[in-house]
Structure 1
């Protein structure tokens, strides 16, 4: 009997990366699909996962043996702060329905995607998998973070009561093709890529907010997709696992901007607006558990990954610039 891997949020950044990896990695290889596997990628247009009936119908339609749950209500800082209850309730409904359907349909394995925002606001760095519940998350992520934390709580409860193999991944900052490049809602890399592209196109200066000194860990979406496939095959723990480059691969915002200037081919005026706030200087996470379990992994060099991302953005500018995803 063939395995069926259902990917929710299949039209988003990670979903599209998973689809790319499954289509390009050799069948039967460590990060490729198995000969007896069918991968199904679904977007929000196929089922409203906040609705338990719609979620169950999705499971009845595809009968998944394995599920990678990526679907979530996400948004920028302003939306997270303004709509705390919406982010809490919508994400809790989606997650609860997916976990319940995975249990009732006897899904062999479920992997949910969390975020580093689940970690406490005040915590000793580096972040690791044992620190998730040591204090409240930052107030700006109140709803989203608490909803994601509950996935970890439910994973353990389902395992202890029913023996379910439910686990979760915690990626650091993700970037790549099919990201949200909308200037109003994009994260740092896609936002800077879009602004640099417009500066080149319009012959205007490329100005980056802040000093450029803060440090961040970025993971290329194609690398993350491979790690999700690895989790599906080889990671059998209920405890979550951080999927990230190492602390020694933190890059400054200036290094990010320099790499974007190179990838875009921008030759105009380029500077930093030091009157703008930098935000948190660094929030490093350790990938020690990942490297211990996987036994080594070759991450794509940052400039190479950025070049691929910029190439996709330029080639798909009409849809990419608005953050519109195709289901």
Structure 2
């Protein structure tokens, strides 16, 4: 008799990380039939508005998940956050409260929520680690989004206490195991299916789209020089993680990570680089694709740099997975640019 598949509900399933999980799951299922113990359901805004409890409940009633990977959020780049902090706070508070409440009501075995390094205090020491989340206010530029995400960690601990105090009501499948509500904290994610919209995008997709437009403009003008404009000084530093690497780590978390405390999913500290260095990698990749055009990088310091650095320690992750191999930035940017050019007509812009 075949074992019944466990249902994994992925909120925000059409986004960058959701699509990466889909790609890795399909790859693993093709490689081995033993990887078919889970049925992944990817939901997005077209399935319902998770900030509205009744719509969120309909999704849970339809699929009755055993696991939840909670990626859904109102997101945007630096300049959209600066403009809409209130909306980011209220909408994300509602989404997270609804998803975790329903995960409890439907006796989900594990709920993994996705946080962000922007939740950490603005004034802090580096590297930041999982113990430092609540030690001061986040950067003012995106305090709405940051505080809403921080509250997931508070909710996880509150639900954990609730399960322990009402253990007879929440044991999973008749075992002694209580549900686990936990969270992951990735550093800056990039990859296929990213949002390349110049108003809403994060650093890497924004650079890729601007570089692409610059190349097309140069070709129209029969020029051999394309100008890549970078907002800000280019000096702020970030750790970037390729979305398919993050997807693999999230699937590992679902099966193996049982702590309530969050875990940072990041490349090593030594892999941190500046925005200017990332722009150079993007420019060099386009120059290899269009050998007749030279990319010229310009920095517009009239734009805010945002937080200068958010260096994160991945020591906790390395204790679990010391040998995990991350995709290099050069390879990840190359593959993301190839995906963007191939899928230009359907990419989010």
Deviation string 1:15-64 (CA, Å, 9 cap, x unpaired) is 000000000125687xx983321110011110111111111211111110
Identify the residue that residue 286 of structure 2 maps to in structure 1: 264
Matched, 1:273 2:273: no
**Residues 274, 74 of structure 1: alpha-carbon distance in 2 compared, 3 angstrom cutoff:** closer
Unaligned runs of 5+ in 2: 165-178, 219-225
Please give the alpha-carbon distance, in whole angstroms, between the structure 1 residues aligned to 2:298 and 2:345: 28
In 1, are the aligned partners of 2:232 and 2:300 still within 8 Å (CA)?
Answer: yes
Identify the residue that residue 320 of structure 1 maps to in structure 2: 347
Matches within 5 A, 1:206-217: 206-217=228-239
Identify the residue that residue 71 of structure 1 maps to in structure 2: 72
Tell me how far 1:283 sits from its aligned partner: 2.0
**Residues 153, 251 of structure 1: alpha-carbon distance in 2 compared, 3 angstrom cutoff:** same
Identify the residue that residue 326 of structure 2 maps to in structure 1: 299
In 2, are the aligned partners of 1:27 and 1:33 still within 8 Å (CA)?
Answer: no
- Return the match for 2:214 from 169, 182, 199: 199
Please give the alpha-carbon distance, in whole angstroms, between the structure 2 residues aligned to 1:175 and 1:120: 23
Q: Is the radius of gyration larger for structure 1 or structure 2?
A: 2
Identify the residue that residue 240 of structure 1 maps to in structure 2: 262
Identify the residue that residue 159 of structure 1 maps to in structure 2: 160
Identify the residue that residue 220 of structure 1 maps to in structure 2: 242
Deviation string 1:106-142 (CA, Å, 9 cap, x unpaired) is 0000000001111111111111000000011112212
Alignment RMSD: 1.9
Question: Bigger shift: 33-42 or 305-314?
Answer: 33-42
Deviation string 1:248-267 (CA, Å, 9 cap, x unpaired) is 11122232122212222353
Matched, 1:88 2:89: yes
**Residues 56, 275 of structure 1: alpha-carbon distance in 2 compared, 3 angstrom cutoff:** closer
Tell me how far 1:211 sits from its aligned partner: 4.5
In 1, are the aligned partners of 2:283 and 2:295 still within 8 Å (CA)?
Answer: no
Please give the alpha-carbon distance, in whole angstroms, between the structure 2 residues aligned to 1:189 and 1:6: 28
Please give the alpha-carbon distance, in whole angstroms, between the structure 2 residues aligned to 1:213 and 1:89: 32
Identify the residue that residue 175 of structure 1 maps to in structure 2: 190
Please give the alpha-carbon distance, in whole angstroms, between the structure 2 residues aligned to 1:110 and 1:130: 20
Normalising by structure 2, report the TM-score.
0.87
- Return the match for 1:308 from 309, 324, 335: 335
Please give the alpha-carbon distance, in whole angstroms, between the structure 2 residues aligned to 1:212 and 1:263: 18
Identify the residue that residue 325 of structure 1 maps to in structure 2: none
In 1, are the aligned partners of 2:117 and 2:310 still within 8 Å (CA)?
Answer: no
SS of 2:337's partner is: helix
Size of the aligned set, in residue pairs, is 320
Matched, 1:283 2:310: yes
Unaligned runs of 5+ in 1: 323-327
**Residues 281, 93 of structure 1: alpha-carbon distance in 2 compared, 3 angstrom cutoff:** closer
